[in-house]
Amino acid sequence: MTTRAERLVNRVRDAATLLFVPGDRPERFAKAERAVADLVVLDLEDAVAPERKVYAREQVVAWLGEHPHCAVRVNAAGTPWHDEDLAALARFRCVVMLPKADPVGARTAAGELGVLPVLIALIETARGVLDAREIASVPNVHRLALGTFDLAAELGVDPVDVDALAPARGALVLASAASGLPGPVDGVTGDLRNTERLTGDVRYARQLGFTGKLCVHPLQVSAAAAALRPSREEIRWAHSVVTTAGDGAVAVEGQLVDKPVLDRARRVLRQEKEGLRR
């Protein structure tokens, strides 16, 4: 039987869609859960004005008492609210998302949260990108996520420019793989009602190795989940490889298939199975 901590870790590692909801809007908490995102993230940071930070924390703490499966994005280290956010969450053993993550901050937060916290490191600074491998190696970090808007602002580029942020995305994919983490979670698509744009963003990120998407509106959840699933052609290819491949290298539809190709095919089929369970 798995423990609650193990279930939280699996929930974070398997999550394809993560939906933010402002922490000072408690009337939206239940609606966010009905959106069927893999993980609801109650936000104490960007979505909450400074004068409402304490109120938001109170509302989130009250909700966590009966809904401990939610995640919480705390305020960044160095802000007036960070330490109190961590202190308030320590007794809940919930998933915590750390904004503007760096190695020291991740280790410090893990210590302040107590026994076996489950952390998502939100990488949204140039320093965070360069330190992504070290952040991913912090024992309590179980997923990396990319904060495209803050990072783009620091770099002086447009957050929708995929070329400008390609090095950052690649760094997170490599850091995650090197540390044995699942593929990272891609940043927000700001055009809330443009499903075509959202789908294109998700498919591009998936091609790079991302396996999740940050959402800021319930309408984005189902479209993001669909775009993260393997296509019919990928599934057909994976089935043909798995059913044909043997112990050595063989040709399938004129293409060489050896162990790395077989491993990829099996991964596609696992993604299909996980998608069907959602």
Q: Which residues make beta-bridge pairs with 39?
A: 18
Q: Which residues make beta-bridge pairs with 120?
A: 97, 143
d(CA 83, CA 78): 9
| The residue type at 103 | P
The answer to whether 34 and 164 are in contact (CB under 8 A) is: no
124 is in an annotated binding site: yes
Q: Which residues make beta-bridge pairs with 144?
A: 121
Block residue for tokens 């099996």: 266
48 φψ region: left (φ > 0), alpha (ψ -120 to 50), beta (else): beta
d(CA 90, CA 142): 17
73 is in an annotated binding site: yes
Residue 96: strand, helix, or coil: strand
Binding residues for Mg(2+), as ranges, are: 124, 150
Annotated binding-site residues for substrate read: 73, 124
Annotated binding site: 73, 124, 150
